Chains A and B, each alone.
Chain A
Amino acid sequence: MDLTFLVAGYASGPTLVLDQPLSFWGGVDPATGTIIDAAHPQLGAVITGRILVMPSGRGSSSASSVLAECIRTGTAPAGIVLGEADPIVALGALVAKELYPDRVCPVAVAADYSQAARAESITMDPNQATG
């Protein structure tokens, strides 16, 4: 898959494709990795261990630290593939990589988002990335 990495790292696994952008803050419970945003169509889905595929980030600027907390507790996605670059998502993963270098959650932008959104599993490998 043609990926441009915002936060480099290797991850591979089944996808969880979100129909709408998700704000981690107010949208995900870091203790369980469950989507708790009542307005989100995938309310109740669990992001843990998946390659989270979503069109973009959304909403509150506190989302970065909730993603970092998910990475710390082990409830985070294995990796995140976006349709467009999102600074808030990138920051959460970037800072978590500084704080917990053994628990990296790579973040990348897909050159062809519709391809990513159809994939049942994705391997994120910065050594094979184009960007």
Chain B
Amino acid sequence: MTVLRLSEADEAMLAGEAGPQVALGMRIVTGLAAASGARSLLDISRAHIDGCLYNGRASLDFAERLTGAQVAVPTTLNVSSLDLLHPDLIQSSPETQQRARALMDAYTSIGAQPTWTCAPYQSLVRPSFGEQIAWAESSAVVFANSVLGARTDRYGDFIDAAAAITGRAPAAGLHLDENRRAEVAFDVAALSPGLKQRDAFFAMLGLIVGTESGKRVPAVVGIDEATEDQLKTFGAAAASSGSVGMFHVVGVTPEAPTLRDVAPAELPTITVTGEMLRTARQQVNAGADSSQLGSVHLGTPHYSISQLDAVLATLARRAVKLDVYISTGRDVLVRWGKADLLTELGVTIVTDTCTYVTSIVDPRSGSAMTDSAKWAYYAPGNIGVKAIFGSMEECVETAVAGRLTERPDQWT
């Protein structure tokens, strides 16, 4: 096994000189370093903690062991299990809600910012290119690495907070140049240019790329341009169906001006066909009952201002007949400033959490429709609701009509 070399400061933290909380954090950082074969630790300049989502007493027991310490770097918080701005939405038991709140309070007490969003990059302060950070939340990790060119490994619960209070992370994985190169290519050049402009295409492509890539870094070739929202959608899907922590879209994302910049001359290549996209969509929809649609879910990951604007424009002042939930960050919602225009049409805005991770929707209300491949992937296991995937436009038309309304022209 590789030998982990610690700095004097690391050793001091491990010995408890900065307190028992920091010593616990350092035992976790070094334990992970050993498990990932790291030879040393490195400094991180920001952290994003997803341990604030209540996953049972263990998450609270851990957070309470950290209280009394303060984070060493600016730290943001991921979605929680509660919506503090719209508390009546949450249907979980008072006891669970009390523990979920105690968990949130534990993390703000150590100095983490109460951002409560899975898309911290949609706030004004973003990590810069090349910056070493420790982010949790798979969709945020893949966005930071791929779209911003910041560097984080695929962190999750516990290590996120351990890195935040120690300011250190294992020098391993996607922190290092050699692990950021493409290992498999996906060629979409033959697909129609119109299809490749649609957000829903990026969601289905993400599912395919995640499934086929596993833990490898994929490179997509054959896309001329993509919006940040499309790359967010793509990464979240790929990080759900696979363990993708970074991708390249050649000519679009910052580390891949050309394929040769990120890949060896010989690279296994998968040609993506229209048939593969149709199959991916059929697999997502399997088991959902389109005649029993109860709700529509948008905003996983949390919607940006431009996505909120797009929903408002597509609704065109028409009221919705199904329950429509749009999840976004509280900071984005304030900056957008038009929430009333959605709520007066019957749309429910969700902040601080997301409808597939906490108890908001009654599973007996029927199947759901969503424009998020991630929501469709996790909701059946998490909240017992099956989903039909559609574009945002299909979701809105379905909500307005009160029944499934598909737009086959959007898929060619």
A residues contacting B by CB (< 8 A) are: 4, 6-7, 25-27, 30, 36-39, 56-66, 68-69, 71-73, 85-88, 90-92, 94-96, 98-99, 131
Instruction: Give the residue of A57, A65, A71, A73 whose beta carbon is less than 8 angstroms from that of B157.
Output: A65
- Is B287 a contact partner of A72 (Cβ separation < 8 A)? no
A66 to B58, CA, bound (A): 8
- Is B62 a contact partner of A85 (Cβ separation < 8 A)? no
Instruction: Give the residue of B50, B56, B159, B380 whose beta carbon is less than 8 angstroms from that of A69.
Output: B56
Chain B neighbourhood of A26, CB < 8 A: 378, 381-382
Chain A neighbourhood of B58, CB < 8 A: 65, 68-69, 71-72, 95-96, 99
- Shortest 6 CB-CB distances between A and B: which pairs? A61-B156, A69-B56, A65-B157, A68-B58, A90-B35, A26-B381
A57 to B215, CA, bound (A): 10
- Is A38 a contact partner of B61 (Cβ separation < 8 A)? no
- Is B381 a contact partner of A61 (Cβ separation < 8 A)? no
A92 to B221, CA, bound (A): 36
- Is B381 a contact partner of A38 (Cβ separation < 8 A)? yes
Task: Provide the B1-21 mask, 1 if CB < 8 A to any CB of A, else 0.
Answer: 100000000000000000000
Q: Which B residues from 26 to 81 make CB contacts under 8 A with A?
A: 27-28, 31-32, 34-37, 50-51, 53, 55-59, 61-62, 65
Residue B141 lies at the interface, judged by CB distance under 8 Å to chain A = yes
Give the number of chain B interface residues (Cβ < 8 Å). 44
Chain B neighbourhood of A64, CB < 8 A: 156-159
Chain A neighbourhood of B377, CB < 8 A: 39
Chain A neighbourhood of B55, CB < 8 A: 25, 30, 62, 65-66, 69
A95 to B34, CA, bound (A): 14
A91 to B65, CA, bound (A): 16
Task: Give the tally of cross-chain contacts (CB within 8 A).
Answer: 125
Chain A neighbourhood of B137, CB < 8 A: 61
Question: Which one of B138, B154, B156, B215 has the highest number of Cβ atoms from chain A below 10 Å of its Cβ?
Answer: B156
B195 to nearest A CB, angstroms? Answer: 25
Closest-by-CB residue of B relative to A73 is B56
Chain A neighbourhood of B287, CB < 8 A: 38
| 30 A-B contacts (beta carbon < 8 Å) | A4-B1, A26-B378, A30-B55, A37-B381, A39-B377, A60-B378, A61-B141, A61-B155, A62-B53, A64-B157, A64-B158, A68-B58, A68-B62, A68-B158, A69-B55, A86-B35, A87-B153, A87-B154, A88-B156, A90-B32, A91-B28, A91-B157, A91-B158, A94-B31, A94-B32, A95-B28, A95-B62, A98-B28, A98-B65, A131-B1
A91 to nearest B CB, angstroms? Answer: 5
Instruction: Give the residue of B1, B31, B59, B155 whose beta carbon is less than 8 angstroms from that of A68.
Output: B59
- Is B50 a contact partner of A61 (Cβ separation < 8 A)? yes
- Is A36 a contact partner of B381 (Cβ separation < 8 A)? yes
Known: A66-B55, A69-B58, A98-B27. A61 touches B35 (CB 8 A): no
